[in-house]
Structure 1
Amino acid sequence: MEEIRVRTTRRSDMAEITELVQEIVSRSGVQEGAAVLQSLHTTAGLTINENADPDVVHDVLGKLERLVPHREAFYRHAEGNSDSHLKTSFFGPSLTVIVSGGRLVLGTWQGIYLCEFDGPRERRVAVQLLPAA
């Protein structure tokens, strides 16, 4: 298992980590199998989405803010980041990506993102490679 550390720059942010994950796969020598990624935080999730057009990240974060605003009268969590916990639950804390030929299997426009919902801060993502039997 290895960890990726990512420094986010805004309260809500999507940091692409595809190349960092691919570096781990390449160093490992695993040719066939899977990479399991897990955010080690309750206010940061993971997703796969388009990485060619930065407007996609803008649109995703903008829509999320409208769907789950930072402040709501009914929120009770004392830290003031209830929205961050909700958003993370919607995205989920983990991903599994197939590895074939020593490369992550992703579509032409796909990238792996750490989704920050309570930043800016340093985040950690655990990566475990599962070689095919």
Structure 2
Amino acid sequence: MSRFGDVLAEKVLTDEYFKKIFISVVKKYTKHIVFNKVGRGLKEKEKSDIYRFINILINSNRNTDRSIAHHIISMMEPFHKNEDYFKAVSSTVFYKMGLFSLNIEHSFLNNESLIAPCVRIVVASVFHKIKQGAVS
């Protein structure tokens, strides 16, 4: 017996309108890669609909459906990365895929007064574990 979310995802993947928007995203992304130019993204209606499709796909239990959602959001990134709603949807996709990243500012990485204490804490923790025999 299939889960309802998986049935919905299957309907999305066979939907002609989804295929049309998906092909549009692929074409825009391909032009971006080939010509190294960021053109216009999706129209508002298409964008709204593709976000709904992504939401359905990412909530499926099937890895292929979830991978397609990740693929779509990755191709949309050059065009919509500064939009708040895109950031929310992409964060959800990454979270559900188990893809986490640290959002560390470049200035933090160059600030020794901030890094040195962090390094000392990590090193002290490792030495403590070695002394206890937890790490060989």
Which TM-score bucket, shorter chain as reference?
A: under 0.3
TM-score by length of 2: 0.25
TM-score by length of 1: 0.25
**Greater RCO (CA < 8 Å, at least 6 residues apart):** 1
Larger radius of gyration: 2
- Specify which structure has the higher proportion of strand: 1
- Specify which structure has the higher proportion of helix: 2
